Structure formats: structure tokens, C-alpha cells
Amino acid sequence: MEKCDLTSEEISRYSRQLILPQFGVSGQLKLRSARVLIVGCGGLGCPAAVYLTAAGVGTIGLVDDDKVELNNLHRQIAHSESTINMSKVHSLADRCMRLNSTVNIQIHEIHLDNTNALDIIKKYDVIMDCSDNLATRYLVNEACAVTGPKPLVSGSALRLEGQMTVYLTKRILSTGEMLSPNKLPPESRAPCFRCIYPVPPPKGSVHGCSEAGVFGVDVHTGKLFLLDVERNLTRSVKLRGPRPNCPVCESSELNIDKPLTNYVLFCGAPSCDKPRTMNMVMNAHRITVQQLKNYIDSELSHLLIDVRPKVEFDICHLKSSINVPLSELFRDSVISEIRQIMDTKISKGAVLPFPVILLCYRGNKSAEVAPLLKCALSSLRCSNSDNNFDLDVTHSLQVESKCFNAEPDSSEFIICDVAGGLLAWSLEVDPNFPIY
């Protein structure tokens, strides 16, 4: 087994973000080594700390000297009735540790000022300003500039409004700059908070949540809010009015006594996002994971193709496998490359029919593509004028229960897939193989 530098528990815990091509194993390793400081454990700091903890940020520092009050609970979602009068840093730290005990939570139960800010901030890579007053914002901004500059993620919320930006890091290109055909200027550092607000507003003109109020949610009736996190783009779209012939909200035939529509049948899809179960149905061209193990252990020549996306292959894979993602499997160049590998192994004396074994995570996709790959390889071989083999591509291939002892036929290769895939391998052969 070949595995990335993550533990099996980490692979299972973070699997849904690990399989994102834009993130993958490298992204998770960067998170694990990151140190993030959250200044303020209130309405902004609570969700920030919880989500960063869940995502697997290695070290999270919490700064606050306040205590939990009843009037905090409508928006400061990490605190609870049981933690009223407890310090916010301890309440939030406890919530984070119950969510993910592998994260290192550092508590700074202190009022941040110009005598201690540098000593605390210099220990972290990224600073999140979730404070509730201007003096702290100016202070944190200066400390980040002096000790780095360190990226400063700054957010605020008041009444029904909010804002967020990142100071002191590479400037994010605007939409116009990204779409412009002209050569873009070199990226420069983003401004700091003091660049934008060189002079504080008049005393008394800025109100806090206790005076102005704040609401924890925003109603977006009649509009669709779109967010592209990767490109940092947002858009708000006004929704059209009800469709006159809509069978749900405009139908005169609606009756509370009638059964609701069966939307599983309507959509042709299950009503949950749980992954499909392992495909363990056996047929003449399928093998079990134990048979696969026996074949690998025998060191007989074969070709084991893992058809999962590369980002999943990088998480964990069998040592003897090669990765050909399903999205690329039927490209002409890929089929030719597979054929070339087969020919090389056959020319070195591999036993015929030469076994080509397809493997995926649950055995579903490999079962679907196995007959298609057989046709693709057979068609390529038949069209090759230099071939020395007489293929009978219509002959039915039979697989014995042990090590592919196929009944005599004229085929030079056999396409098999593994029932249950790598999940079955983990359950039946190698319990240390990560489940994600």
C-alpha cells in the first residue's frame, strides 16, 4: 500500500475536502502545519474557529478576555447556556476540542494591547481580526505589519450589514483585471487597515453591537446569492416570478389530502447523498479482493489500473497499480499507452491471456467501464497492421476463482474488475488501508 503523509484517521475525517482537485493532499498538509490566531471569540470568531477546527488547521490561537453572556447566544453559536459566565476563550476552546481533538488550541485569555500584541501575533502565520472595536483593529493591523507582514483577515458585522477583506497580503486581482487581454502589472501587496482608514472616525460616531444591534442571519427573499470562492467572485441575481403553470405553487389541483409527489422517481436519483454501496455482484469477468491479493502476491505479470481521479489516487493506492483517471481512460493516446504497456509485458513472456485489472473505490465505476475498455483495446489492436496476434473479440472470457486461470481461447488479454473495490480491500484484506 502506498499512502500520503496523512494518517488513516485524517484521510477519513477530511475525505470530502481531500477529493477536491483544487485542494487535495497538499492542501490538507498545508492546513495541518498552519498556525492561525483568532482575535475575538464572539459572533465572528465562533464560526471561524469552529470551521477552521473542522477543516484541520494545525494550531488555532484564541484571544479574548470577555465572558459569555446570555445576550451573546443568538449569534455566538459556539457558546451555550451551560457556558454562561465562562470565559469565551475556554468556552470556544472546549467546543473546538470536542469537534476535533487533533487540533492544537492555544488559549490567550488576555486583553490585547500595545504591550502584548507583538509577542502573541508573531507566533502565528495568519491573523483573523474578529474583534468588536476600532482600537483593537488598528492595533492588530500594526502588529501584523511589524511582524511580517502577516496576512490579516478582517471581518465585521453590525445591524444587518457585514464586510470582510484580507489586508497585508498579495492583492487579489479584480474581475476586470482577470478578464483583460492586456498584460497585467505585477501583483503587489494589498493595503493595510491604516491605509484605508488613516484617521479614525470622530469619537462617539461608531456604535457597537450593544448599542446598534446585530442580527445573526440575513433574509435573501427573491434573490439568489452566488459565490465563487476560488476566484473571489460574488453576484446577486433577482429571481423571476412564479411560473403560471407550475404544478406545485400555481396548481388549482393541490389537495392536502392527496399524497405528495414521489421525487425519487421524478428525479431518478436517491433522496440522500450517501455514496452508493459496494458493488459485490459477481460475474464471469469480476474477481474478489482476495483473488486480487493472491495474484499480486504470486508476482505474475499483470496490469492493475486504478481509475479513480488523481486526487484520490494521491491519497492512497495499491503499490502495484497505475493511475488512469476515468475521465482520461478512453482518450486515444491513453488507450495506445495502455496497449503499449501490455505489449511490453507480453513480449517479456507474460502468461496469456494477459490480465488487465480495473480498480476503483467501491467497484461501481470499474464494473461499468470494463466492457468498454475491452472493446477499445480490441479495436485498437485489430486496426494495428503490425500486430502478430489473431484476436477473437467476440469470444466470451471465463475467469476461474483463482488467479485468472481462463479456459483456453484465442484472446491475448482479459479485462477484469474488482468487486467491492478498494473499500472491500480495506475491509477484507488490509484493515490499515484508509477509508475515505
Q: What is the pLDDT of residues 232-254, one digit of tens each?
A: 788 888 877 778 888 877 766 66
Q: Would you state the pLDDT for residue 407?
A: 40
Report pLDDT digits (tens) over 9-18: 999 999 999 9
Q: Would you state the pLDDT for residue 284?
A: 76
What is the topology classification, in CATH, of domain 8-267? Rossmann fold (3.40.50)
Q: Are 283 and 369 in contact (CB under 8 A)?
A: no
What average pLDDT is seen over the chain?
A: 85
- Band of pLDDT at residue 187, cut at 50, 70 and 90: low
Q: Would you state the pLDDT for residue 266?
A: 83
Q: How far apart are CA 162 and CA 234, in angstroms?
A: 14
Poorest-pLDDT segment among 198-202, 289-293, 341-345: 198-202
Of the listed 46, 316, 360, 403, which one is catalytic?
Answer: 360
Distances (CA, A) of 169 to 26, 151, 152: 21, 5, 8
Poorest-pLDDT segment among 104-118, 119-133, 175-189, 388-402: 388-402
Q: How far apart are CA 327 and CA 315, in angstroms?
A: 18
pLDDT at residue 184 above 60?
no
Do strands 223-228 and 2-3 pair parallel, antiparallel, or not at all (unpaired)?
unpaired
Is 416 annotated in the active site?
no
- Band of pLDDT at residue 173, cut at 50, 70 and 90: low
Q: Would you state the pLDDT for residue 260?
A: 77
- Are 8-267 and 286-429 equal in CATH topology? no
When pLDDT is averaged across residues 27-43 and rounded to a whole number, the result is: 98
Which is more confident, 232 or 346? Answer: 346
pLDDT at residue 313 above 70?
yes
pLDDT at residue 215 above 70?
no
Residue 78: closest CA among 101, 98, 105, 104: 98
Please state the domain extents for the chain. 8-267, 286-429
Q: Would you state the pLDDT for residue 358?
A: 98
| Sheet hosting strand 59-63, strand order edge to edge | 104-108, 59-63, 35-39, 126-129, 152-158, 161-167
Poorest-pLDDT segment among 316-330, 366-380, 406-420: 406-420
Poorest-pLDDT segment among 193-197, 359-363, 405-409: 405-409
Q: Would you state the pLDDT for residue 280?
A: 74
Q: Would you state the pLDDT for residue 237?
A: 85
**What angle, 0 to 180 degrees and rounded to 10, lies between the N-to-C axes of helices 289-298 and 421-428?**
80
Which is more confident, 384 or 106? Answer: 106
Q: What percent of the chain has pLDDT over 70?
A: 82
Right CATH number for 286-429 from 3.40.250.10, 3.30.429.10, 1.10.357.10, 3.40.50.300? 3.40.250.10
pLDDT at residue 386 above 80?
no
pLDDT at residue 404 above 70?
no
Residue 42: closest CA among 25, 65, 11, 61: 65
For residue 355, say if its preceding peptide bond is cis, omega within 30 degrees of 0: no
Q: Are 190 and 167 in contact (CB under 8 A)?
A: yes
Q: How far apart are CA 121 and CA 106, in angstroms?
A: 12
Q: What are phi and psi of 336, to 5 degrees?
A: -65, -40
Is 209 annotated in the active site?
yes
Q: Are 135 and 49 in contact (CB under 8 A)?
A: no
